[in-house]
Structure 1
Amino acid sequence: MLNKLLSVGVMVMLLLAAGGYFAANAKAAGQEGLGNTAGQAQAEAAAQQEVKEQVPPKATQRQQGRPKFNPENQEMREQARMKAKEIRQNKQADREQAATAAKAQREQARMRAKEIRQNKREIKELRETKQEKTKLARELIKTLRENPESFPEEKAVAVREQLRLIKENREKFAESLGRIRDESASLRENRRNNNAPGMKGNADNIFAVQEARIQILKEMITDLDELLALLT
């Protein structure tokens, strides 16, 4: 009986000890769980705060999206604008200058063409005068050849000298006609090719040759007048 009571007492003590152990473990586990839950909450709050700090507000984002005002950039843009304006003005000035030059060239060409026409008329008139005087001189020379005794030798020498001068000028006049023909052909070619500088050069050359031909004709007429004076 005593042994039975002792056995029951030992079992009760063991049960009480086991109950205290499990209660202590349960309490510790509960405290540990609470501690873990609080730590997780604090970690989540810290993470959310960090995200808020990293993501700026919309107003801040708009401000960050706009470039900051830079006086140097503003100055560069102003310089570029002024340079573009200067280029436009220079182009306009070049166009106006080209138009003025073209107008002046047309006026010069018109005046040169007018001078060439005037020279052609003068050359025609001088040639007609020369031909009339030449015809008269030939008739007088023919008459003198029929009556050589009526013409002194010294006059004959002077007549031959005048005839030599007239012949030289006649040859020069014929050569100048060839130069005018060459320049006229070149002028037509340049006109077909719309070569304004070339046409101007041809017109100037034609005018210069015409001036030389006029001078030759005048010299020939002077020589003919002297010849006629000797023959009469």
Structure 2
Amino acid sequence: MNTGIKPVLSALAAGVASMLLVLGPAADAEAAAQSRSATRTSTAAAQVQEKASATDGRKLYDYRFHVKPNNARVVGVAWKPSLAISELKRCFNCTFPVKGAPKRYPAENQRLDLKACASYFVCKNAPVRYHKGGIANGWYFTAEQGHFDGKGSRVYFQYYSEKDTHYLMLHVRAYVTHPAVPDSLNKRFAYDAWQDFSHNMGVKLWCTSYGSC
């Protein structure tokens, strides 16, 4: 190799090495800054979610039911969740089992003067308002003043397909603010009511799908 070129190449190599030494800490600093930014964003999102959950009140229950017409003979049915909503829009109180439910499917922010009645406690006022809330194949109720769960309490309803079997499921979860009924009775009534709701829907969909009314 030409002896005049060697010094030039050596100088170039030294320059590149110097640049890497200078840029290395800067690149590390930038990566660290991006990591801190991502951590702050994640923490902020978690705090927002926590605050949103807090506004719902204390979680009282979280139930999931297979929507089927007969618990003894049918394990589950792979109905589409949208079919359940269509049935409710055809007739809401034909399947929804709480006293005071309207026949017409509720409109956004509509007040429903429901009453929770069971053999183990007298009927309790349960006025609520309906909200779609962006829930796919579902909705939620917010409790009005005079509700036995306390104003601002919420109950969420959603139909969905079970992951492996694709069986239709009903998911119901509730958050209470100032319940006037002991938790044990409250959860017992809710479980019985929403199991009936699931069964009623199963009977309706079976009838609609197979004509065995």
The structure where strand makes up a greater share of residues is: 2
TM-score, normalised by the number of residues in structure 1:
0.28
Name the larger-Rg structure. 1
TM-score, normalised by the number of residues in structure 2:
0.30
